Chains A and B, each alone.
Chain A
Amino acid sequence: QKEVEQNSGPLSVPEGAIASLNCTYSDRGSQSFFWYRQYSGKSPELIMSIYSNGDKEDGRFTAQLNKASQYVSLLIRDSQPSDSATYLCAVNAWRTDKLIFGTGTRLQVFP
């Protein structure tokens, strides 16, 4: 079982729709969760961090964490073509600051 799992996609959504990106993780002790966006040929940039169960909103982005289900998601409202990128989920390994990354989900927003 992969430590951090994401559907590789592509996930295709029309402009203006809600994009829902999902991530599951295997380490029950993980406490820190991150979503990064990576455009083709570029480096990852932080979208959101979340540490507590529930929702965290920042502009058009909402991160959702459910530690009991070992599940973290990212919702993008009013999706724009500029949101087309690969979204990486990262989770810390228990009792360390090492981040374990998923392979990423490729999102395509079409006009």
Chain B
Amino acid sequence: ETGVTQTPRHLVMGMTNKKSLKCEQHLGHNAMYWYKQSAKKPLELMFVYSLEERVENNSVPSRFSPECPNSSHLFLHLHTLQPEDSALYLCASSQDFGGLSRTDTQYFGPGTRLTVL
């Protein structure tokens, strides 16, 4: 247990559905992240929130919409996804983001395995 939880753990959805992924961290961290992990590819950073403000948006299609209501919770709202969006979606948190020296360690949640039919 890393102190980062994600729900649901598995999700199957059609291309016309709308669903949301939820992440919660119990570590008192100020930064939260969404990553996508596809087979044979490195983890891809999607979004970064620092103190509830989005600070990075890595050219992610608008069918993915993040929301960070407070520093402990992060959502990823999904709509009109494509089959190629099927992947493991990982949430992570770290103490801070954008520090001047060392990058803080990121701790990952268990992930949501998403299948788009």
Contact surface of A with B, Cβ cutoff 8 Å? 4, 31-32, 34, 36, 42-46, 49, 51, 88, 90, 92, 96-104
CB contacts between A and B, total, < 8 Å:
57
Main secondary structure of the interface of B (DSSP, over half): loop
Contact surface of B with A, Cβ cutoff 8 Å? 2, 31, 40-43, 45, 48, 56, 88, 90, 94, 96-99, 101-111
Query: Least Cβ distance of A75 to chain B in Å?
Result: 20
CB within 8 A of A31: which of B102, B108, B109, B110?
B102
Given A4-B42, A97-B97, are A43 and B110 neighbors across the interface (CB < 8 Å)? yes
* A34 adjacent to B105 (CB under 8 Å): yes
CB-CB under 8 A from A101, the residues of chain B are: 42-43
CA distance A4 to B44 in the complex (A): 12
- Taking CB as reference atom, which chain B residue is nearest A41? B113
CB-CB under 8 A from B102, the residues of chain A are: 31-32, 51
